[in-house]
Amino acid sequence: MKKLIYTLLITFVTVSAWSQSEAIYTFNLFNQLNFNPAYAGSKDVLDAGAIYRNQWWSGVDGSPKNINVYGHMPIAKNSSGIGLNILTDKIGLDKILTIGADYAYKIKFKNSNVLALGLGVRFENARSDWGETNGEVTNPDPEIGTGEESNATFNVGPGVYFKNRKFYLGLSIPRMLANSLYADKNEFGAKVNTYFLQTGLTLPISQNVDLLPNVQVRYNPNSPFDLDANLNVMFYDALMVGAMYRLDDSIDGLLVYHFKNGLRLGVAMDFTLSDLKQATTGSFEVMLGYTFPCEDCTIKSLRYF
């Protein structure tokens, strides 16, 4: 019975969250396509990767497990960028698939300043298999159901992204349409948009050491204020060690290494601070990426803007 209660609780919380906001990753620095389409092509080379997130992995049955596969590149002589973003989520009784395509138009100024205007479209499908609860109860509630429910939606969202060699700033609204993946649209409808603001700096400390602070703000008038504050230190353009505070949720640590052949590997751990710490230690992520070589440009290995 305890397993069933946790599963139904996680499903309820996740349904509410998915109708309001995006999947949140500790490695959000390396794939900003999740929330800002104007990021497409921002690295001026083809960049691709995958992130696996196992949330509340210890102690909570039915906890979220997410896989994010992405890629983006410049086109039209670097005047534009395109990106593809795929997410799969297994959360309680829900399985969710999101496929997104992004386009960004770049406006170039002096001193390497670039302003990008982006638009993203996405297809989403959610399936809930209520039959998975049958083995946990003697007399199933007929109001809950025992079969599989499925629903699909389309959404669209704009974004802007400004960057130069030392600074970046992005603002976006990933979902503009007030629709829902779930049957009860009156209860779970996405009536209020979530606004994303992300900014970061590169601050040289010495010849081979850079400080990389980063902040992401997620604002939804229908939800509590949400903030990630991140501080990374990069050594020799190859090794990144960082720490992050997620407001009222967790303290996170991350480690990333970029090999000379373009391969990028990373691992992150989230340590829960909320009341959920009574049931779980936290979450973890694993990242695999590859930055393709560029013959006519200079790209720092671990830069994300």
Average pLDDT of the chain to the nearest whole number = 84
57-76 average pLDDT score: 86
Q: From CA 253, how far away is CA 267, in angstroms rounded?
A: 9
Q: How far is CA 197 from CA 8, 77, 82, 117, 140, in A?
A: 32, 28, 21, 15, 45
259-268 average pLDDT score: 93
Distance of CA 153 to the CA centre of its chain: 19
- The percent of residues above 70 in pLDDT, for the chain, comes to 79
Q: How confident is the model at residue 147 (pLDDT cuts 50, 70, 90)?
A: low
137-158 average pLDDT score: 73
pLDDT in tens, 69-98: 999 999 999 999 999 999 999 887 788 999
Q: How confident is the model at residue 17 (pLDDT cuts 50, 70, 90)?
A: very low
pLDDT at 101 over 90: yes
Which tokens belong to 166?
């030392």
What is the pLDDT, as a whole number, of residue 15?
40
What is the pLDDT, as a whole number, of residue 264?
95
Query: CA quadruple 60, 99, 102, 290: dihedral positive or negative?
Result: positive
pLDDT at 207 over 60: yes
Count CB atoms within 10 A of the CB of residue 194: 21
What is the pLDDT, as a whole number, of residue 140?
57
Q: Which residue has the tokens 């399985």?
A: 95
128-133 average pLDDT score: 67
What is the pLDDT, as a whole number, of residue 7?
42
Residue ranges of alpha helices (H) inside the chain are: 2-18, 185-188
Which tokens belong to 55?
């949330």
- Judge: domain 2-291, CATH 2.40.160.40: yes
What is the pLDDT, as a whole number, of residue 69?
97
pLDDT at 192 over 50: yes
pLDDT in tens, 36-47: 999 999 999 999
